[in-house]
Amino acid sequence: MKMKDKMHTGELYFPGDEEIIEWQTKCLDRLYDFNMTRPTEFEKRQALMKEMFAEIGEGCYIEPPFHSNFGGAHCHWGKNIYANFNLTMVDDTHIYVGDYTMFGPNVTVATAGHPILPELRQKGYQYNAPVYIGKNCWIGAGVVILPGITIGDNVVIGAGSIVTKDLPSNVVAVGNPCKVLREVNEYDKEYYFKNRKIDYSTIIKEE
């Protein structure tokens, strides 16, 4: 099996393989082009994202700079996803993100890990595990999501949290390590922030 194929098996492999480096460099060239676009070059950004990503739906928006080990080549995004400044996707293997999910600034989603044994790290060995993020999640500023994590739908993760274990759907989770604080509940239908009530008369209604 080629080293490039081992990237997606969870096995130890050497990321300095010549074939991997050549391909990665091409991906990073496109990422550089994306990050150098002006705010007025919206259509150019959209076109580059479609080239860069494994899959990307309509209505997605990324605030540059965007950082990604393979320039999004292993990122599978649904539709209407928003990413604030400095999103880092360590996409050495696949990262899946559901529709309508939002990333705050300085979020890191990592799929790559290195062995604890120092002799193997010295030789440069690595392993990867995919990450799955559900639909309509809000990932707060500075959150770190570790390799192999699955996050359900409608999850809110508090700023600065370190996600080390899977999270179920419909919860608010915070902390280091990140733990479920509570479920999304009836209170959230009435209040949006610190006892501030939702004025449904001002909410745009879907046609």
User: Active-site residues: which are they?
Assistant: 114
3-class secondary-structure state, position 183: strand
User: What is the distance between the alpha carbons of residues 81 and 67, in angstroms, rounded to a whole number?
Assistant: 16
Q: Count CB neighbours of 203 within 10 A.
A: 8
Residue 143's nearest CA partner among 114, 181, 173 is: 173
Pairing of strands 112-113, 82-83: unpaired
Nearest-5° Cα angle at 193, 190 to 198: 35
At 160, the amino acid letter reads G
3-class secondary-structure state, position 160: coil
Task: Tell me if 96 sits within 8 A of 130, measured CB to CB.
Answer: yes
H-type helices in 123-190, by residue range? 187-190
The token pair that represents 45 in the structure block: 């950004």
The angle, 0 to 180 degrees and rounded to 10, between the axes of the packed helices 42-52 and 18-35 is 160
